[in-house]
């Protein structure tokens, strides 16, 4: 299996990236992160540790040459690492397991640091631990190099380190007796011949849940002889105990005691933080309750103000109605007085009307009597005029009328009896 190579390669800065793989799907992502490196003088040494088909993981036109290393049988972690070392041609070496990845500037950053510090043989970046799906897990490996701390724990993830191949001349190899912590032991070997430079740039990403999951956070797991972590740690100590001086061991114990104190402080801080979290939660609930009460109060206050305004408006209307009622009462009393006066006048009018009615009836009777009398007189007159005597005396009556003085009209002749 082979890929292309950048035409600018061959400058003595060839970096061999040793990728141990068991055929996980994440190998595609690991290879892609190599392909995106800013440094272009790279070869990929792909160590098939599980005897699985790997062709499908390499995309067409891959930019760097790929050496496929397969021993025909499954390889343990240390065996696969040594196979990669043996097959590498670069002057600088870097490991990248198939479940991790590196940022595009990872190699160029470390290589530039080593070129600027020729006395040092290894440089490492800060590393972020991520979840199985690549999300930050809240843990970063970013401690400066401390050879005493390295005696106690591995704080340098394997793919964060770029080191000179020349260090292998000191017979530095991965210990095949170690099932885990083989990378820690390898760093201890290199530290006997060189210092490590910490490049404070976060360019490596370590996926939790893979085969390299050796950074147990529970101290009981790391030192428990009932699990592989505790057993492998004891083997590392057994291997190196005779190589460490009394001064180194004293410094290691001092560091451990200091770390115990730090862990105790961290535990106290964690407990305080938990208490603060509980207090904060109570405060948050109290604040939430207060906001709810405040909102409720505002609603009640608004309703109260509305009712108050309605009451004041009703009070104004009531006072206006009361004024109108009092005015109406006054008018009613005045009307009552007028009514009583009118009733009195009406009674007087009725009394007068009664009298006038009585007089009218009397006059009607008198009128009727006069009318009847006139009829009688007219009837008597008619009888007289129709009598013979009346007709015979007409000339005498006419003469009498002529002889009467003009100024004094003669009285009307009396009707004949």
Most confident of the ranges 45-59, 100-114, 336-350:
100-114
Predicted confidence band of residue 328 (pLDDT cuts 50, 70, 90): confident
Q: Which of 257, 125, 239, 228 is nearest to 188 (CA)?
A: 239
Structure pTM? 0.62
Average pLDDT, the chain: 85
- How confident is the model at residue 298, as a pLDDT? 85
Over residues 248-266, the pLDDT tens digits come to 888 888 877 755 445 544 5
- How confident is the model at residue 9, as a pLDDT? 45
**Mean pLDDT to the nearest integer, 179-205:** 98
- How confident is the model at residue 356, as a pLDDT? 85
Predicted confidence band of residue 270 (pLDDT cuts 50, 70, 90): low
Q: Which domains, from first to last, does the chain contain?
A: 15-215 (3.90.550.10)
């Amino acid at each position: 299996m082979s890929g292309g190579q950048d035409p600018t390669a061959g400058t003595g800065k060839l970096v061999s990236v040793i990728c141990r793989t068991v055929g996980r799907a994440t190998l595609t992502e690991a290879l892609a992160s190599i392909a995106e490196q800013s440094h272009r003088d790279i070869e990929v040494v792909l160590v098939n540790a599980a005897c699985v088909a790997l062709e499908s993981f390499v995309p067409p036109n891959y930019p760097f040459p790929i050496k496929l290393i397969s021993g025909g049988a499954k390889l343990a972690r240390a065996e696969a690492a040594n196979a990669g070392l043996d097959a590498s041609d670069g002057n600088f070496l870097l490991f990248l397991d198939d479940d991790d990845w590196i940022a595009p500037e990872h190699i160029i950053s470390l290589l530039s640091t080593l070129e600027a510090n020729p006395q040092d043989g290894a440089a490492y970046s800060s590393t972020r631990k991520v979840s199985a799906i690549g999300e930050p897990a809240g843990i970063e490996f970013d401690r400066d190099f401390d050879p005493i701390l390295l005696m106690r724990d591995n704080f340098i993830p394997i793919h964060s380190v770029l080191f000179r191949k020349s260090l292998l001349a000191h017979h530095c190899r991965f210990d095949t007796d170690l099932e885990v912590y083989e990378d820690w032991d390898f760093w201890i070997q290199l530290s006997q011949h060189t210092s490590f430079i910490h490049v404070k740039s976060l360019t490596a990403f370590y996926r939790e849940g893979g085969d390299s999951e050796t950074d147990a956070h529970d101290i009981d797991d790391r030192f428990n002889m009932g699990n592989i972590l505790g057993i492998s740690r004891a083997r590392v100590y057994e291997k190196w105990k005779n190589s460490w001086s009394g001064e180194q061991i004293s410094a290691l114990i001092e560091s451990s005691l200091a770390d115990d104190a730090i862990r105790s402080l961290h535990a106290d801080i964690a407990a305080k933080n938990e208490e603060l979290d509980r207090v904060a939660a109570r405060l948050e609930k109290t604040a939430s309750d207060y906001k709810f009460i405040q909102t409720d109060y505002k609603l009640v206050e608004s309703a109260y103000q509305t009712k108050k305004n309605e009451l004041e408006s009703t009070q104004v209307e009531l006072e206006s109605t009361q004024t109108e009622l009092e005015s109406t009462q006054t008018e009613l009393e005045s009307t009552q007085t007028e009514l009583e006066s009118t009733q009195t006048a009406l009674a007087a009018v009725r009394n007068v009307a009664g009298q006038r009615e009585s007089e009218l009836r009397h006059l009607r009777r008198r009128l009727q009597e006069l009318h009847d009398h006139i009829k009688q007189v007219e009837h008597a007159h008619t009888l007289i005029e129709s009598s013979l005597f009346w007709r015979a005396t007409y000339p005498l009556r006419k003469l009498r009328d002529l002889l009467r003085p003009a100024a004094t009209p003669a009285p009307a002749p009396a009707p004949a009896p």
